[in-house]
Amino acid sequence: MSDKLDEIFQKQSELNDGIFAKQSIKGPDGQVLTMAAIREALAREELGPNGLPNQWLRNYLTALKAEAVEVEEELLWKWWSKDRIDLQNIRVEIVDLMHFLTSMALVAGLTAEDFHRLYTKKHEVNQKRQDEGYSKATKNEADNKSIS
């Protein structure tokens, strides 16, 4: 059985390429943009404000935030209400969040394996912080910077 995270990353890359082609989104070279072209810009360290990595990280972050707002809009805040949340729609919106998070990971040059490795290491940092009574007073970004 194939790794599910690898499958998600592959499907998202293919979806993004399909959207670029369907919408005729062009790269700086005038050709239809591809995820490979974004990765190549990343490899060339085109990391300034006008580089493809920055532009597409920003685009996907904007989309991610919009999807988070859609989840928020599904949630109920009137504690006196007899309404019920639409859990099915919330689940689908959460999957939309995953689409854009995965796109951001791809643009940042992460593979599914990289993502899993970094997630696992960051999880260990977060667990250690909780075990040690994490607070603003004890916050130290050195543990984040040590993750590779």
**Average pLDDT, integer, range 115-139:** 90
Beta bridge partners of residue 32, listed in sequence order: 26
Q: Which amino acid is present at 62?
A: T
Residue 8 has pLDDT above 90, yes or no: yes
Confidence at residue 146, expressed as pLDDT on a 0 to 100 scale:
84
Mean pLDDT across the chain: 95
Is this structure's pTM higher than 0.75? yes
pLDDT > 70: percent of the chain: 99
Q: Residue ranges of the domains in the chain?
A: 4-110, 112-148
Confidence at residue 135, expressed as pLDDT on a 0 to 100 scale:
85
Per the CB < 8 A criterion, the answer to whether 143 and 125 are in contact is yes
Q: Could you read off the pLDDT of 49-87 as tens digits, one per residue?
A: 999 999 999 999 999 999 999 999 999 999 999 999 999
SS3 category, 134: coil
Q: Could you read off the pLDDT of 92-106 as tens digits, one per residue?
A: 999 999 999 999 999
C-alpha dihedral over 114, 58, 47, 144, to 10 degrees? -50
Residue 1 has pLDDT above 50, yes or no: no
